[in-house]
Structure 1
Amino acid sequence: MSASPSKASDSFSLLDERIQRWIWQSGWSELKDAQEQAIPAILAGDTDVVIAAATASGKTEAAFLPILTRLLSTEASSCVMYISPLKALINDQWWRLEGLCESLEIPVTPWHGDIAGTKKRNFKKSPTGCLLITPESLEALLMANGHALQGLFGGLRYLVVDELHAFIGTERGKQLQSLMHRIDRALKRFTPRIALSATLGDMDKAAAFLRPNAAVPATVIKSNDAGQALKVLVKGFIDYPLALADPEAWVGDDADFEKSLSQGTRAISEHLFKTLRGSNNLVFPNSRGNVEKYAALLRGYCEDLGLPNEFWPHHGSLAKDVREETEAALKAKGRPATAVCTTTLEMGIDIGSVKSIAQIGCAPSVASLRQRLGRSGRRGEAAILRCYALEAALAPHSPLSDVLRENLVQSTAQVRLSLRSWYEPPNIGGLHLSTLIQQLLALIAQYGGINAADAWAVLCGSGVFLGVPKQDFILLLRELAKKDILIQTPTGLLLHGRVGEQLVNHYSFYAAFAAEEEFRLVHGGKTLGALPLSQPVEKGTHLIFAGKRWQVLSLDIEKKVIAVMPALGGKLPKFDGGNLPVDDGVREEMRQILSETLPIPFLDSTANQLLQEARATFQSMGLDSLPLLAQTHCVQLFPWRGDRVMNTLALMLKQAGFQAENTGLSIIIKTDNPEKVFEALHGLAVSPPPDPTALVAEVMNKRLEKWDALLPAELLAKNYSSHTLDVAGAHEFIKRLAARRHSPR
């Protein structure tokens, strides 16, 4: 039986007859490319499989059609475990699989905090079929069933990880790696792992993340299906100053919302309203505060015209019923709805057909932009992307990054890279020692105690926490013992201490991550507001908040308070927590865009005009040939590298005795003698790469993750530097710069 009128499908013939019948009854004329490639590889069951394909390209079926065929061919009770980053995605897949699995008499069991206990008990009595679960619920399951896991998962045939990109480089990702290894260890065998994702920048690194110890080979499948048609427009806007005379007036509960809006924000909201009315769309303004601001503006326009509301907010801080109200509005037929949202609607939750995506400001990453775009243009229609670049109105002393139109150029770079199917390579090098603590405590709970050598073998020797040598593990154990997190019996068994028992017995323990912590900004005893910190902070660091520039006087990690004073100066870093670290590839593309001369077709007239002005500045200042620019009392260094390299360069220059600050696009070095900067860079070039832990010694906000407060100072520095620095990349840049033997202009 052919899967296509013109081409026989070898993969189709490998499926169980009942599944073949379901495919034809569903009206499929052929299998998609990812399915054709995945079916034989998954049925063989002797490798891990990584499937990368666009949203709505049939990845779920590519995994489950062969898996269900395998379950049907197995006489003994067997099951598959599907692990998802979102409960809502589990609910969607439950609905999606039930239609097929019901006809096959294969049970489907969703398992998360909102699922009734009856369903969970039924699965434990008869652990067969499809188990759909989150990492947190799987953690609880392993800890509660310890030595009984062989009986519970003896029939496990596959582990499926959905939205793999959402796990890579995160605390949950490291937890997931450990959970999968703990299952293999309990079963005393390897279970094939199947990973699904729409955006993977480096397939080999993705496979290495899926199984860190490479004990099982991986089959990598990248769909060859033609990409969807795409319509892109980048619109430029000038962000003229606030209407209020006092820019501080909007900070506080009694602020006049209408008067606090800049002209650029209002212009974007008006264009959104005019363009999106009457259809279903998603708007991504990057932060919860901006979600609320734009949702309120758009809703207000509906009310002013006496129209039913079409605009709904959606972010993680909203109550579940409020989020579900937005999702229901998007799914409802016959009434248009647009969600103004954060990353909560970026992944594959079923929200029905969406006509277009609006991105306000730069996306968190190229991969994130592509993931969002995949929500649009389904069912054969072109995907539509509108990007809104809000640029500052220039003044005589505007910072160079404003003159170079950093936000517009970065948005343009992200679009161009996405069109070339380039995505950031996965960052799999972070130590995630916070998650190591959580997994150590979970392992003790699972087995009722474990000796130190076995704990190191399971967690570190296995490759999950590969960067942790035995001496660091021993140092960690001693620190946890000091804090009464652990105790060790005379026989060498590790057990929970008094404080450890309290931590493990709290409902929040199962999550390896904590909600993003915000720091309260205080000036002269007055609270200005709160914000998360996403870059290294030391005494003297500058930041922008409430439209004003501030300098850090002190930071209290325990109380989450930053004391600041007003500051003057040029462009300074924003600490808004909205974006992921910018990758080297994005900044290199930004430099390329500024080096060109032709207009870019997908930019509107305003955006192209702003870009041409930025290009003229770029050429006139010689930034196309030399990355060092001397100015009054400072030198600006333009490496065109990602945030990790930029962080490292700034800290290296500080260690060399300069006042240096990473502003994102450039590093500002305070000096009246530019030659000294070049001499210092030459000295750094001929010296060995610095110790990353020494570079971050003065950084005050080294606690990034949930359990970092329990780490000894030495390991905290190692952990922080592994996530935020790229010493090798920074050292290589300095060597290349010094080799040119030029002085700053």
Structure 2
Amino acid sequence: MADSRAFLQLDPRIQRYLWAEGWGGLRDVQEQAIPLVLSADQDVIVAASTASGKTEAAFLPALTHILAQPDEGLIVYISPLKALINDQFWRLERLCEGLEIPVWPWHGDITATSKRKFVQKPTGVLLITPESLEATLCNRGTAIAALFKRTAFFVIDELHAFIGTERGKQVQSLMHRIDVAVGRTIPRIGLSATLGDMSLAARFLRPDSPVALVDAASTGSQLLILVKGFEEPPAGRDGGRSDSDGEQAPDAIAAHLFKVLRGSNNLIFPNSRREVERYTHLLNTLCEKARVPKEFWPHHGSLSKEIRYETEAALKQREHAATAVCTSTLELGIDIGAVRSVVQIGTPPSVASLRQRLGRSGRREGEPAILRGYVIEDALDDKSDLATQLRLDTVQTAAVISLLLENWFEPPAVRGMHYSTLVQQLLSSIAQYGGMQAAHAFRLLCTSPGPFDRVSRQGFIELLRVLGEQEILSQDHSGLLLAGGVGDKIVNHYSFYATFATDEEFRIVSQGKPLGTLPVSQMMTPGQRILFGGRTWLIDEIDEQHKTIHVSPAKGGAPPLFNGSGARVHTRVRQRMRELYLGMGPLPFLDYTAQRFLDEGREAFKTRTLEDLLLLDQGSYAILLTWLGDSANEAIACFLTSRGFQASIGRLGVEILRAGCSLEQIKSTLSEIALSPLPAVDELLEKASNLERQKWDGLLSLHLLKHTYASSNLDIDEAIEWLKSIEPERLRSVVFSPPEQI
């Protein structure tokens, strides 16, 4: 390390620590980041693969700086997870002990005594969640300037988990409010293993000034991928039935997992909490039958803290093998030790998510990263619907993996207006300052470089008016904004500090009979069809107040491709799916069955001449084959809905209920949309229901709710660009498939 210029820039005490720990040298990401962070006069994003040393790339130079600058003695580390804070505490305390720098974990499980000690002497490293930082600003008011005056850096871990979310907007606001309180710009360091467009990430970290970028190359470890296909026979085809809700494929997958994973640590990612429970049960039943110790542990957000901690502890200990069956709760950087392989059951939520998950594997020197994928398709018969014929799950999984291998992943979403979080930050700022003039609040939060600079003065005034009408806010005789009677109760409730709402599912009810619950991730309208419990239902009414969807059995027609849940798909993924359908050769990461699924999907695509089709006649409804992402497709659906059609997004494009209208009417309307001026957002979403997505959306006026929904969920520009690209020649020359052929 003596030849390393970056190493020689570190404090001698840190150098001695690294020698004592047996470091052979700094990693590439550290060599690049150390001089940038040491200058302490710029923002830096450090993007590199998991276990590449990003944390040290930030903290080694940051600690060197505060050792050399006694007046700047605090590093504020912001983490999305309490468990990650606990991990970093043990990791940093060992380093900082010899430097005589205190490390302070701060979240809901930390004692008040420890927090008081930090407040009395706010130096060292503060490891804190956004919610705890929010509470600090609310409750310590004018003391904030003194508390954070010595802050040298903000370090934001798992940056990708914040970008484009309400929680990310909260973090932006908190850092900005502290900057304003201390009267200077505190450098920000963002750490992430998964970033798409680095310029968008930089804009998130600091919207109004340049950001230094460290995009370290991959370590080059070997990557092994195998996707296995499993076919689910139609009910009644043979006499054997499974205990898994009448399905045989999950049993076969569990048996294969038991065979290949036993004796090692792994992560299994099904696509829902229900599937986590299913596979944990199946795998541990196999352990019991084999009379071997339990090796499979569940981990998802609905489980108690104790159960999740039990799973994390099982993964960390070295005496016995342990595999977690989990949702995205274990995607982030909690230290769970070495993981031999990552398993994805079903279609990955996104390329970025799969990349993050795969980063858990292959962390030991010389070990490959291993991804095992499993896809389930129904057997083909004369009743198979279009989705089954096209083998959509297999093709989308293959598309995601092929993009992963090309090192592409979704860019951050940064265009949302986030009115819900603005409500929270407005109430929080009023609590911090003991009241604010409206003009001061607008300058603080909505004027650049404020975090809500997309909100206009007119929109802010409307928000104040609406909050005043609901007694969320009040004004005294001098015009000072204060929390109203209702707002005071909100701010003083422990749940206020979190920007995200707890998961809410809609109850599905038919003729007064509850059918179950369904998570809904897109807007819905009466007349739309949904798939639930293996049947197709028609939405009769949406009761948003009671989170209930009233349905009746749908008569005739193929089932919809939308089932109410799942991550939003990017245009690049859909376009890659189309490329795979048009392709000829095998994919090296598919096993024989999965490759057969792909070949069957290609044959169906060719037979139905889908390469040339834009509007697919399905009898009772039509599908507009856009090959766009969900945000653009939903915008097109809104355009059609605003003109009297019943339209919604599906996995192939936009589904349009015929309801007596001809295909020529649909074509004509699409042409009119492409040529017409853009409608106002209020008009576009006039018939939309279920727009409340974020925690405080229910406090917004309908006008503001529509605008905040559109800004985060609709890509109107891409939708219009596509519509104009097909008008008029391609749409007029479209070939239709009779419904009996599908």
Q: Same fold (TM over 0.5)?
A: yes
Q: What residue in structure 2 maps to residue 49 of structure 1?
A: 44
Does the CA contact (< 8 Å) of 2:107 and 2:129 recur in 1? yes
Shift of 1:402: 2.1
1:290 aligns with 2:280: no
Correspondent of 1:702 among 682, 688, 691: 691
- Determine the C-alpha separation between the residues in 2 that align with 1:633 and 1:346: 41
Partner of 2:507: 520
For residues 658 and 559 of structure 1, do their structure 2 counterparts lie closer, same or farther at Cα, with a shift above 3 Å needed? closer
Q: Deviation at 1:654?
A: 2.6
- Within 1, Cα distance between the matches of 2:137 and 2:500? 18
Equivalent position amino acid for 1:694 in 2? E
| Whole-Å separation in 2 of the counterparts to 1:241 and 1:524 | 29
In the TM superposition, residue 13 of structure 1 has moved relative to its aligned partner by 1.3
The answer to whether 1:744 aligns with 2:734 is yes
The one-letter code sitting in structure 2 at the alignment partner of 1:296 is H
Q: Structure 2 residue aligned with 1:688, among 658, 661, 677? A: 677
What is the aligned partner in structure 1 of residue 372 from structure 2?
386
The alpha carbon displacement at 1:259 in A equals 5.7
Decide whether the 8 Å contact of 2:525 with 2:689 is kept in 1.
yes
Q: Would the aligned equivalents of 1:242 and 1:260 in 2 still touch at CA under 8 Å?
A: no
Shift of 1:329: 1.2
| Distance in structure 2 (CA, Å) of the matches to 1:545 and 1:481 | 41
**1:168–1:426: 8 Å Cα contact kept in structure 2?**
yes
Q: Is the contact made by 2:530 and 2:564 (CA closer than 8 Å) also made in structure 1?
A: no
Matches within 5 A, 1:184-583: 184-212=179-207, 214=208, 216-241=209-234, 258=243, 260-380=245-365, 381-462=367-448, 463-567=450-554, 568-577=556-565, 579-583=566-570
1:31 maps to 2:26 = yes
Aligned AA (1:424): E
The superposition leaves residues 182-209 of structure 1 with CA deviations (integer Å, 9 ceiling, x where unpaired) of 0000011000000000010010000101
Shift of 1:242: 5.5
My pick for the range that moved more, 230-239 or 256-265, is 256-265
Shift of 1:68: 0.4
Provide the residue aligned with 2:740 in structure 1.
none
Looking at structure 2, the residues matched to 560 and 192 of structure 1 have their Cα atoms a distance apart, in angstroms, of 43
Tell me, yes or no, if the aligned pair for 1:53 and 1:199 is still in contact at 8 Å.
yes
User: In the alignment, is the contact (CA less than 8 A) between 1:244 and 1:259 conserved in 2?
Assistant: no
- Structure 1 counterpart of 2:64, one-letter code: T
State the secondary structure of the residue aligned to 2:110: coil
Match of 2:169 in 1: 174
Q: 1:19 aligns with which of 10, 14, 17?
A: 14
| 1:127 partner SS | coil
String of CA shifts for 1:676-716, please: whole Å, max 9, x gaps: 33222222222223333322221210100111110011001
Alignment partner, residue 623 of structure 1: 610
> Partners in 2 of 1:194 and 1:410 — Cα distance?
35
Task: Give the alignment partner of residue 594 of structure 2, picking from 601, 607, 629.
Answer: 607
Between the two proteins, the alignment pairs up a number of residues equal to: 727
CA deviation profile, 1:69-107 (whole Å, cap 9, x unmatched): 001101336110000000000000001111110011111
Deviations 1:330-362 (A, max 9, x none): 122131111100111111111111111110111
Q: Which residue of 1 aligns with 2:113?
A: 118
- Give ranges in structure 2 of 5+ residues lacking alignment: 736-742
Aligned letter for 1:558? Q
Equivalent position amino acid for 1:570 in 2: A
Report the equivalent of 1:5.
none
Kindly report the root-mean-square deviation, in angstroms, between the aligned alpha carbons of the 2 structures: 1.7
Distance 2:370 2:218 in 1: 19
Deviation of 1:148 (Å): 1.1
Conserved 8 A contact 1:169-1:426 = yes
Partner Cα distance (2:149, 2:618) in 1: 68
CA distance in 2, matches of 1:227, 1:433: 43
Letter in 2 for 1:323: R
1:37, 1:221 within 8 Å by CA — same for their partners in 2? yes
The alpha-carbon deviation at position 25 of structure 1 amounts to 1.6
Checking the alignment, whether the CA contact within 8 Å between 1:281 and 1:337 is kept in structure 2 is yes
- CA 1:634–1:525 in structure 2 vs 1: closer, same or farther (change >3 Å)? closer
Indicate the SS of the match to 1:270.
Answer: helix
Contact 2:77–2:126 at 8 Å: present in 1 too? yes
**Secondary structure at the residue paired with 2:36?**
helix
1:657 positional shift: 3.5
* Alignment of structure 1 residues 41-190 onto 2, 5 Å: 41-76=36-71, 78-190=73-185
Maintained 8 Å contact 2:642/2:685: no
Does structure 2 retain, via aligned residues, the 8 Å contact 1:242–1:263?
A: no
Deviation digits for residues 127-165 of structure 1, max 9, x if unmatched? 111000000000011111111112111110000000000
Q: Identity of counterpart residues, as a percentage?
A: 52
Decide whether aligned partners of structure 1 residues 656 and 227 sit closer, same or farther in structure 2, where only a CA change above 3 A counts: farther
Using the alignment, how far apart are the partners of 1:275 and 1:634 within structure 2?
A: 45
Flag the 1:740–1:233 CA change in 2: closer, same or farther, 3 A: farther
CA contact 2:525–2:688 (8 Å) conserved in 1: yes
Secondary structure (helix, strand or coil) at the match of 1:738 reads coil
Alpha-carbon distance in 1 for matches of 2:94, 2:427: 40
Cα distance between partner residues in 1 of 2:187 and 2:248: 55
How far apart, in 2, do the equivalents of 1:267 and 1:109 lie? 48
Q: Deviations over 1:606-661 (max 9, x none)?
A: 11111011111212322223433334354322111100111111222233343333
In 2, Cα distance between equivalents of 1:281 and 1:243:
35
TM-score of the superposition, structure 1-length normalised?
A: 0.95
TM-score normalized with structure 2 length: 0.95
Structure 1 window deviating more from structure 2 (528-537 vs 59-68): it is: 528-537
How far the C-alpha of 1:420 sits from its partner, in A, is 1.3
Report the 3-state secondary structure (helix = DSSP H, G, I; strand = E; otherwise coil) of the residue aligned with 2:726. helix
2:222 aligned partner, one-letter code: A
Given that residues 538 and 551 in structure 2 are in contact (C-alpha distance below 8 angstroms), is that contact kept between their aligned partners in structure 1?
yes
Residues 328, 576 of structure 1: CA spacing in aligned structure 2 closer, same or farther, 3 A cutoff? farther
Contact 1:313 1:326 in 2 (8 A): yes
Report deviation, 1:382: 0.4
Describe the SS at the equivalent of 1:268. Answer: helix
Displacement of 1:597 after TM fit?
A: 0.3
DSSP-derived class of the 1:104 partner: coil
Q: Give the Cα–Cα distance (whole angstroms) in 1 for the partners of residues 219 and 309 of structure 2.
A: 34
Residue 250 of structure 1: aligned partner: none
Instruction: Give secondary structure in 1 for the equivalent of 2:220.
Output: coil
Residue in structure 2 matched with residue 727 of structure 1 by the alignment: 716
SS at match of 1:632: coil
Tell me, in whole angstroms, the C-alpha distance in 1 between the residues paired with 2:532 and 2:618: 25
Write the deviation string for residues 358-416 of structure 1: whole angstroms up to 9, x where unpaired: 10111221111010001111112101101111112333243322211111111111111
Letter aligned with residue 710 of structure 2:
S
Give a deviation string over 1:95-130, Cα, whole Å, max 9, x none. 111111001111100000111112111111111110
**Displacement, 1:257?**
9.0
Secondary structure of the structure 1 residue equivalent to 2:584: coil
SS of residue matched to 2:407: coil
Find the aligned partners of 1:584 and 1:304 in 2 and give their Cα distance. 46
SS at match of 2:332: coil
Give the AA of the match of 1:726. D
Query: Residue type matched to 1:238 in 2?
Result: E
